[in-house]
Amino acid sequence: MRLQTTAITALLASLSDAQTLNIPSRVGSIVSLAQPSSISGSKDMGYREFDRGRACDTDVDTGSENAVFILENGATLSNAIIGANQLEGVHCKGARTLINVWFRDVCEDAISALGNGNVLIQGGGAQNAADKVVQHNGRGTVTVRDCTVVTAGKLCRGCGNCSNNGGPRNVVIQNVKARSVSELVGINSNYGDVATISGSCGTTVKKVCQEYEGIELDIAADRRRLERGSGGSSVGEAYAVAEK
C-alpha cells in the first residue's frame, strides 16, 4: 500500500452547489434503444437522452447486453444524458473517456469499467444510485473530475468479488461535489489499490474512503469491509465534509 498526499484544500463555499443534480435540458425526444449502442472513436451526442425502454426492476449485474452504451477501447462519449429506463448505463472496454455524461437515475451501476486501461470521467453527474456510480473491474486508473453525485451508495468502487480479481487499481477524485453518499470511494487494500482525493466537498458523506479486502469470485462470500476509514494507509485526501 502506498500513501498518496495532496495539498489542495476543499472549498466549503461550494457545498450549496451539490444540493441537487442540475442535468442539462435534453435536446429532442428520449431515444429508447432496442440494443446497446457500441461506440468507437469520439461521439458527441449533443445532449440527447437515451435509455433502453425498461424500468429498473433489479439491482444485480445483468451484463453488457442491457447497457445503453458500450465504449470500445479508446472511445470518447460526450454530452449525453442516460435516462431512467435502463438496467445498465455505460460499459467500457479498455481506455476510454466520458465528458459531460449525465445519469438521471442509476440502476445497477452508471459506469462499469470492465477492461484494462485508464478511464477519465470529466464533468457530468449521477443521482439515485442504490449501490455504485462507477464500478472498476479492470486494471488502471479511474479519474473522476468536476462531477456531481447526489444520493448514492458509493461514487467509485474497485471490484470486491469478481473473476480474475486483483490490482492495483487506482482512483483519482478531483473537484467532486457529493451529497448523501455512504462511501465516496471503496478500494481493496490487499491488492495495493490507492485512492487520491483532492479539491472536493460534500454534505452527508458518511465515509470518504472505505478499505475492503477483495477476493476472487465467490458467489457465496461477502466482501470484507476492513475496520479503517478515511485516512488509511492507502488514502491521500484533502476533503471537507459537512454533516446535516
Across the range 72-82, mean pLDDT stands at: 98
Q: Indicate whether 150 belongs to any domain.
A: yes
Single-letter amino acid code for the residue at 45: M
Across the range 92-113, mean pLDDT stands at: 95
Q: Indicate whether 3 belongs to any domain.
A: no
Does 55 score more than 60 pLDDT? yes
Phi and psi dihedrals of 66, rounded to 5? -105, 5
Q: Indicate whether 23 belongs to any domain.
A: yes
Residue 239's pLDDT is 42
Among candidate residues 177, 128, 233, the one with its CA nearest the CA of residue 18 = 177
Q: 194-213 and 169-174: which strand pairing?
A: parallel
Which CATH number fits the domain that encloses residue 55? 2.160.20.10
Q: Indicate whether 4 belongs to any domain.
A: no
Residue 242's pLDDT is 38
Q: Indicate whether 83 belongs to any domain.
A: yes
Phi and psi dihedrals of 199, rounded to 5? 60, 25
For residue 122, the enclosing domain spans 12-242
Q: Indicate whether 6 belongs to any domain.
A: no
175-205 b/e with 16+ CB inside 10 Å = b? bbbbbbbbbbbbbbbbbebbbbbbbbbbbeb
Question: Which pTM value belongs to this model?
Answer: 0.85
Q: Give the pLDDT band of residue 223 (cuts 50, 70, 90).
A: low
Q: Indicate whether 2 belongs to any domain.
A: no
Residue 224's pLDDT is 58
Does 99 score more than 80 pLDDT? yes
Q: Indicate whether 130 belongs to any domain.
A: yes
* Count of the separate structural domains present in the chain: 1
Residue 164's pLDDT is 86
